[in-house]
């Protein structure tokens, strides 16, 4: 018989994370596009990120028919960008730095202040493996048309239960936290990681320390 689950965080009721989930306001709007195969994954961090942010949406699927229209509507109030580290991706800068650079450029060129730079970002975040993220972009042409952004120097991931080929790969919730910490300085969004850290500890506890050491730590060390 399946264990009863919390309707909000989707965790088993005995391991509900809702008490750890904050409610954080942000200028930046976050749109998480979760590949449908990730929805039922035990280590689903996208939902935790969505629940912890007041200005966020979570779409689950593979081909999003209304995405182009949605992005056009949101562009009235935000600058839509795709958080995806390809060769053309621009490194995210704090809004305060962006505004300073914009003011300097306008002073030098004597241009009228631009409204576009005053808008916060709509940060579109694909959620899934790299292969699934690439598929989301391929199936949704409006994503390929967005400017891409990346993180300047992401910290080491605390996602100890899921392997990644890239050395600096982060979980979805970690990437969003780093992005918001960068953009909205001096405001901090570290509280978004509380349920994530609790989730990791729950999973390690459930599998047992010995199994964790054998299956994850040894495999991680041997891949270096």
Order of strands, sheet of 29-35, starting from the edge strand that comes earlier in the sequence: 56-61, 29-35, 121-127, 79-83, 148-150, 90-91
Global confidence as pTM: 0.87
pLDDT tens for the chain, 224 residues long, are 678 999 999 999 999 999 999 999 999 999 999 999 999 888 899 999 999 999 999 999 999 999 999 999 999 999 999 999 999 999 999 999 988 888 777 677 655 555 556 799 999 999 999 999 999 999 999 999 999 999 998 777 776 655 555 556 899 999 999 999 999 999 999 999 999 999 999 988 877 665 655 555 554 554 44
User: Which regions of the chain does DSSP assign to beta strands (E)?
Assistant: 29-35, 56-61, 79-83, 90-91, 121-127, 148-150
């Amino acid at each position: 018989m399946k264990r009863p689950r919390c309707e909000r965080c989707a965790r088993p009721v005995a391991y509900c994370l809702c008490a750890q989930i904050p409610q954080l306001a942000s200028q930046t709007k976050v749109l998480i596009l979760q590949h449908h195969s990730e929805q039922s994954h035990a280590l689903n961090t996208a939902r935790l990120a969505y629940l912890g942010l007041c200005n966020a949406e979570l779409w689950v699927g593979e081909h999003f028919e209304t995405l182009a229209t949605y992005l056009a509507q949101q562009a009235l109030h935000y600058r839509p960008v795709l958080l995806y580290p390809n060769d053309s991706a621009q490194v995210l800068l704090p809004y305060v730095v962006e505004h300073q650079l914009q003011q300097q450029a306008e002073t030098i060129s004597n241009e009228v202040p631009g409204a576009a730079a005053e808008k916060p970002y709509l940060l579109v975040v694909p959620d899934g493996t790299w292969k699934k993220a690439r598929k989301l972009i391929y199936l949704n042409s409006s994503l390929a048309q967005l400017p891409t952004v990346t993180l300047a120097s992401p910290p080491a991931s605390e996602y100890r239960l899921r392997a990644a080929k890239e050395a600096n790969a982060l979980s979805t919730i970690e990437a969003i936290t780093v992005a918001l910490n960068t953009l909205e300085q001096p405001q901090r969004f570290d509280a978004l990681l509380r349920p994530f850290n609790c989730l990791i500890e729950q999973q390690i506890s459930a599998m047992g320390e010995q199994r964790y050491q054998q299956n994850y730590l040894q495999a991680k060390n041997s891949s270096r």
